[in-house]
Amino acid sequence: MKQVNLDELVDRVLVELAKQSSSSAKKEPLQAGAHSSDPIYFPEDKEMGVEKPKDRESLERAMSRTPARIGIGRAGTRMKTRSYLQFRIDQAAARDAVTKDIGEDLLRELGLPILQTKSADMQEYLMNLESGRRLSDESVRWLEQNGDKGKDVQIVVSDGLSTSAIEANIPDLLPALLQGLALRNISTGKPVFVKRGRVWVQDQIASIVKCKAVISLIGERPGLATAESLSAYMIYQPSAQTVESDRTVISNIHRGGTPPIEAGAYLAELLDDILRYQASGVTLARLRSR
Amino acid sequence: MKLSCVIRKQHYQFSSVKDVLAKASEEKSGDQMSRIGAQSALERMAAKVVLSEMLLSDIYENPVIAYEDDEVTRIIYDDLNLTVYNEIKHWTVGELRDYILSRKARMPELTRLSRGLTSEMIAAVAKLMSSIDLVMASQKMRYQAYCNTLIGEPGRLAFRCQPNHPIDDPEGILASIKEGLSYGSGDAVIGINPNNDSVESVTKLLVMSHEFIQRWQIPTQNCVLAHITTQMQALRNGAPISLMFQSLAGSQKANEAFGVSKEILDEGMELMLRYGTATGPNVMYFETGQGSEVSLDSHEGVDMQTLESRTYGFCRHWKPFMVNNVSGFIGPETLYDGRQMIRADLEDLFMGKMHGLPMGIAPTYTNHMYADQNDQEIAGMLTALAGANFYMGVPGGDDVMLSYQDTSYHDDASLREILGLRPLREFEQWLEKMGIMEDGRLTEYAGDLTIFD
């Protein structure tokens, strides 16, 4: 019995030593408190928490292949303190990101006119879906007078649930998408920004500008791994009979998913298909797989 | 049928069975948004009083959406056992509650009873039940199903390993599969939500997961949670599928928005029985959750909880292996906070079981909801106590593709330990063979995905 305990102890010491030497760089900030007034710099990278992996290199490689929280080890069956706190920090940040407002300088730089929905504020936007699905009367008038009519494609950008997604992706995505469409001789109306918009506002916009297809680039609800994820919703000639499965959706556009420039090119290709097949959503998928 | 009552000297009048059901529901933001919920706490109680005196035949004769107009209603009514219904149609909803909670109602009695109840009756009785009522009634019922493993045996708790990746990278997905298995998660299914819904991409993931299961001889099933028509196409092309997935809702209009119908589900199941890789007979996996009809603007004036119950009435037609409830996945416009989410989870587990379904729960929350990890863990523990068949297993509780939080591999192992529950029989033996589990507890090797190298 004594022997076993001693072996265990030796093992544990060896593991601790190995951990300290392999991750000393990461741990340094935590220990930097030479002066008690120095703050704690809490590490943001995933911690390898498995104490004695069968193959450390293989585990490192696996951890690098996915943003998922793997290789984090356990305390009993629970998460270790560092991964638990990291999880809670990421959730707190995501929570805060929802209520952040969009920087209007960026929209000016991108030359996007700002339209409003019927949502007066974030609370109304969150709790009343209908308010984000319709443009305000003033924006309807503006679009009727100033929108480009009868084009192949109308692009709509909207903050949705994440302004960070717009800031991080649109500066690269929008030019790539416009260029991709131009190369395919697809005409586009002047893109617009819709503040606090839901996906379905695209149906109203399409009916006003009378485009063939409409694409909305909308900030997704922030996740823990990223608050910068953007989705693209596309539909061919929406009408009163439109159902959700008529929309083609590409989600997870962000640095760690489909990068914005690549997404721009891909979306142009998809829109080309939508115009060619005169269909979107499940119908398009069926026609394409034939 | 009485549609009015007096409480605290105040007269309350309701317009229909549908109105009473909506106003008797516990407070939920989705019903407020549809403007069908109770306007005050006392009005809610008045509706509960009226509901408690309502006869089951009143509910039978007044489906919340007409038989002629709605496929979900037709399935519920056509699948009903009329002999059982005729035995109980003179009961009030209050008497139904007392019977369900009584000692004489054990699983065989409740199973028979469920054959004579429409989904609206089941929703109604849940509106008269408190949290402990719901847990105690749920505990009595445990429904089993067989695909490649037997799910729902007493004393066992299963998990879906959910190894999603933001761009469907097969190596990244495989890493999360290994991690999950090393925690004992994956006996319900290895189920991947694809980011790319194309037939080619979905097929690739089906082949990858199938080959991994074959190589390590894992007693489980694979599934890629694409739209059912995508999976059907993949299956026709020869892709290996052991479980077919689809999200369902409680009105025909909402199912149309999902791009699904009885006809498509019939065809999907027929294809599975002919070309699927599983033993069966239960080869379908459905996901449901309060609020989808509201967010698709197809609630038809019916409250979220009643629609959810109707979804179960629809589901049971295809004898699924798993029905997973994901109330909380949508956002604050349907379930405002942790309190509403926990209530919905308890109601849904009870209502699913009362339909005879092999129910699992995904206590989830999104980041724009007023809920956090503590609420989620409470919902997980309570529904485990109430005897859910399975939960999800997500690395670290954070789904990096769908951007929401669900039960983690750690939570899975913890729920088993808290309640002394074991993995599914065949899978437990496999875990022991792999050295991951011993006497129902994780070994020191658990949690290391490189044991699969």
Domain identity same for A81 and A110: no
How much is the pLDDT for A226?
Answer: 84
How much is the pLDDT for A24?
Answer: 41
Element containing residue B442 per DSSP (H, E): strand B441-442
Which among A69, A90, A248, A283 is the top mutation candidate for probing chain B, defined by the most B β-carbons within 10 Å of its own β-carbon? A69
Residue of B nearest to A98 (CA): B368
Using a CB-CB distance cutoff of 8 angstroms, which residues of chain B are in contact with residue A87? Answer: 373, 396-398
Quick check: A68 and B398 CB within 8 A? yes
Structure token pair of residue B383: 């529904």
Is residue B206 assigned to a domain? yes
Is residue B300 within 8 Å of residue B17, measured between CB atoms? no
Q: Cite the DSSP H helix spans in A23-79.
A: 24-31, 56-64
Give the count of alpha carbons within 13 A of B354, CB side only: 32
Domain identity same for A94 and A109: no
ω into B332 cis (within 30 of 0): no
Domain identity same for A82 and A110: no
Query: DSSP letters along B91-157, please?
Result: -BHHHHHHHHHSTT--HHHHHHHHTT--HHHHHHHHTT--HHHHHHHHHH----EESSSEE--TTB-
**Cα–Cα distance measured from residue B345 to residue B136, given in angstroms and rounded to the nearest whole number:** 14
Domain identity same for A165 and A134: yes
Is residue B188 within 8 Å of residue A75, measured between CB atoms? no
Question: Residue B409 maps to which CATH number?
Answer: 3.20.20.70
The residue that leads in pLDDT, B447 or A12, is: B447
End residue of a domain, out of A33, A66, A98: A98
> Is the pLDDT reported for residue A6 higher than 80?
no
> Is the pLDDT reported for residue A8 higher than 90?
no
> Is the pLDDT reported for residue A178 higher than 60?
yes
How much is the pLDDT for A286?
Answer: 85
Residue A96 banded pLDDT, cuts 50, 70, 90: confident
How much is the pLDDT for A201?
Answer: 97
Is residue B303 assigned to a domain? yes
**Hey, is the C-beta of A122 within 8 angstroms of any chain B C-beta?**
no
**Hey, is the C-beta of A225 within 8 angstroms of any chain B C-beta?**
yes
Number of folded domains in chain B?
A: 1
Residue A23 banded pLDDT, cuts 50, 70, 90: very low
> Is the pLDDT reported for residue A289 higher than 80?
no
Residue A45 banded pLDDT, cuts 50, 70, 90: confident
- pLDDT above 70 covers a percentage of chain A that reads 88
Residue of B nearest to A223 (CA): B403
Provide the β-strand partners of residue A162: none
Each of the 453 residues of chain B gets a pLDDT tens digit; together they read 999 999 999 999 999 999 999 999 999 999 999 999 999 999 999 999 999 999 999 999 999 999 999 999 999 999 999 999 999 999 999 999 999 999 999 999 999 999 999 999 999 999 999 999 999 999 999 999 999 999 999 999 999 999 999 999 999 999 999 999 999 999 999 999 999 889 999 999 999 999 999 999 999 999 999 999 999 999 999 999 999 999 999 999 999 999 999 999 999 999 999 999 999 999 999 999 999 999 999 999 999 999 999 999 999 999 999 999 998 899 999 999 999 999 999 999 999 999 999 999 999 999 999 999 999 999 999 999 999 999 999 999 999 999 889 999 999 999 999 999 999 999 999 999 999 999 999 999 999 999 999
Domain identity same for A136 and A84: no
Q: Cite the DSSP H helix spans in B16-80.
A: 17-24, 29-33, 41-53, 56-61, 71-78
Helices and strands counted in chain B (H then E) = 21, 16
Is residue A72 assigned to a domain? yes
Is residue B182 assigned to a domain? yes
Question: Residue A50 maps to which CATH number?
Answer: 1.10.30
Domain identity same for A79 and A221: no
Provide the β-strand partners of residue B286: B246, B323
Is residue B93 assigned to a domain? no
Is residue A37 assigned to a domain? no
**Per-window interface: B 109-148 vs A, CB < 8 A:** none
Is residue A19 assigned to a domain? no
Using a CB-CB distance cutoff of 8 angstroms, which residues of chain A are in contact with residue B175? Answer: 62-63, 65-66, 68, 70
**Hey, is the C-beta of A35 within 8 angstroms of any chain B C-beta?**
no
End residue of a domain, out of A54, A76, A98: A98
How much is the pLDDT for A4?
Answer: 47
Non-local (6+) Cβ contacts of A143 within 8 A are: A115, A135, A192, A205, A208, A209
Q: Which of A52, A229, A286 lies nearest to residue B229, judging by beta carbons?
A: A286
Domain identity same for A138 and A88: no
Residue A22 banded pLDDT, cuts 50, 70, 90: very low
Is residue A29 assigned to a domain? no
The residue that leads in pLDDT, A107 or A13, is: A107
> Is the pLDDT reported for residue A193 higher than 70?
yes
Using a CB-CB distance cutoff of 8 angstroms, which residues of chain A are in contact with residue B295? Answer: 129
Is residue A36 assigned to a domain? no
- Other C-beta atoms lying within 10 Å of the C-beta of residue A11: 12
**Cα–Cα distance measured from residue B206 to residue A102, given in angstroms and rounded to the nearest whole number:** 40
How much is the pLDDT for A3?
Answer: 47
**Cα–Cα distance measured from residue B235 to residue B239, given in angstroms and rounded to the nearest whole number:** 5
Calculate Rg over the CA atoms of chain A: 25
Q: Which of A59, A226, A252 lies nearest to residue B449, judging by beta carbons?
A: A59
Residue A33 banded pLDDT, cuts 50, 70, 90: low
Number of folded domains in chain A?
A: 2
Structure token pair of residue B343: 């209530």
Query: DSSP letters along B159-185, please?
Result: EEE----TT--HHHHHHHHHHHHHTT-
**Cα–Cα distance measured from residue B220 to residue B427, given in angstroms and rounded to the nearest whole number:** 7
Query: Residues A128-149: pLDDT tens digits?
Result: 999 999 999 999 999 999 999 9
Is residue A115 assigned to a domain? yes
Quick check: B195 and A251 CB within 8 A? yes
Is residue B114 assigned to a domain? no
**Cα–Cα distance measured from residue B346 to residue B349, given in angstroms and rounded to the nearest whole number:** 5
Domain identity same for A125 and A228: yes
Is residue A198 assigned to a domain? yes
| Domain ranges, residue B352 | 145-452
Q: Which of A87, A251, A258 lies nearest to residue B397, judging by beta carbons?
A: A87
Domain identity same for A143 and A160: yes
Is residue B25 assigned to a domain? no
Helices and strands counted in chain A (H then E) = 11, 6
Report chain A's terminal Cα–Cα distance, integer Å.
Answer: 69
ipTM, two decimals, is 0.94
How much is the pLDDT for A25?
Answer: 42
**Hey, is the C-beta of A91 within 8 angstroms of any chain B C-beta?**
yes
Phi/psi of residue A274, nearest 5 degrees: -60, -40
Is residue B357 assigned to a domain? yes
Domain identity same for A261 and A173: yes
How much is the pLDDT for B308?
Answer: 98
Quick check: A70 and B449 CB within 8 A? yes
Q: What is the DSSP letter of A34?
A: T
**Hey, is the C-beta of B453 within 8 angstroms of any chain A C-beta?**
yes
Domain identity same for A61 and A136: no
Domain identity same for A239 and A255: yes
Is residue B347 assigned to a domain? yes
| Domain ranges, residue A56 | 43-98
> Is the pLDDT reported for residue A223 higher than 90?
no
